[in-house]
Amino acid sequence: MPLLEHLVELRRRLLWSTVTFALCFLLCYHFSARIYLFLARPLGDLMRQQGEQPHLIYTALYEAFFTYIKVAVFGAAFLSFPMVAVQAWMFVAPGLYRSEKRAFLPFLVATPVMFVLGAALAYYFVFPFAWKFFLSFQTADGQDGLQIQLQAKVSEYLALVMKLIMAFGVAFELPVVLTLLAKVGIVTSASLKRVRRYAYVGAFVAAAILTPPDVITQTGLAVPLIGLYEISIFCARLVEPRRPDDDEAEQN
């Protein structure tokens, strides 16, 4: 295919992706308040359990508006990803052999699935424990003559939630990435086993970088990362190219 046709095709795919993102943005902005309430539900539930009225504050006139804009962008990126991935696949697929298409298509499907699993783990399991830990630093009325109470800002809460969801979602792509690298022969299950101890340390280092400086969220990310690494070794063993010496060993 000539270069000009490639550019025209690329323009078409980018246009479809942009239009999809724009429509998803408008949809998410319309429901931005509901989306934000959904994201804030774990904190609100804990506040109710402690006898408090769930609340968040904003301290600048424009803060709530821009927070809803960020919610819409975040939601649009999430909703439009399947279409963007399909458009990217439709641009790349014509240049691949049929066997290559069969090999890479499962990874394209697994990528959003694993991201959603990671995000769900953060929302349903990590958030309740982490928020409970953070709320434990509040003091009762009049205790020692000083009351310490959480006054969380809407923008800061959204930033923390987005950071954790992205961290867990991206972390859950580890089996997809390592299995793909094993499929093309860049890594092997044996090499992954050899660096296992370093991978475990790297899991805690990555968790310390990607999460707030508390034990709950760091452990909540590091432990799944270690489990995902072990799953990656198993998956790499299934898909890695067979070496001639392996075939000879089986024959003997």
pLDDT band with cut points at 50, 70 and 90 for residue 159:
very high
- Is the model more confident about 173 or about 245? 173
pLDDT tens for 123-144 read: 999 999 999 988 888 877 655 6
- Is the model more confident about 5 or about 72? 72
pLDDT of 228 over the 70 cut: yes
- Is the model more confident about 107 or about 195? 195
Is the Cβ–Cβ distance between 223 and 175 less than 8 Å?
no
Backbone angles phi, psi at 57, to 5 degrees: -125, 160
DSSP SS3 for 59: coil
pLDDT of residue 141: 66
Closest CA to 151 of 56, 48, 50, 43: 56
- Is the model more confident about 47 or about 243? 47
Average pLDDT estimate for 203-225: 88
- Residues with Cβ < 8 Å from 94, sequence gap 6 or more? 1
pLDDT tens for 46-102 read: 999 988 889 999 999 999 999 999 999 999 999 998 889 888 888 888 877 787 778
pLDDT tens for 161-188 read: 999 999 999 999 999 999 988 988 889 9
pLDDT of residue 29: 96
Is the Cβ–Cβ distance between 169 and 119 less than 8 Å?
yes
Instruction: Determine whether 237 is exposed, middle or buried from the number of CB atoms within 10 Å of its CB (0-12, 13-18, 19+).
Output: middle
Average pLDDT estimate for 186-204: 93
Alpha-carbon gap, residue 247 to 177, rounded angstroms: 26
Please tell me the pTM assigned to this model: 0.84
pLDDT of residue 252: 46
Average pLDDT along the chain: 88
Residue whose entry in the numeric block shows the structure tokens 């804030």: 40
pLDDT of residue 213: 79
Share of the chain above pLDDT 70, in %: 93
Share of the chain above pLDDT 90, in %: 57
pLDDT of residue 51: 85
Average pLDDT estimate for 13-33: 95
Buried b or exposed e, range 239-249, using 16+ CB within 10 angstroms? bbeeeeeeeee
Alpha-carbon gap, residue 70 to 201, rounded angstroms: 34
pLDDT of residue 185: 85
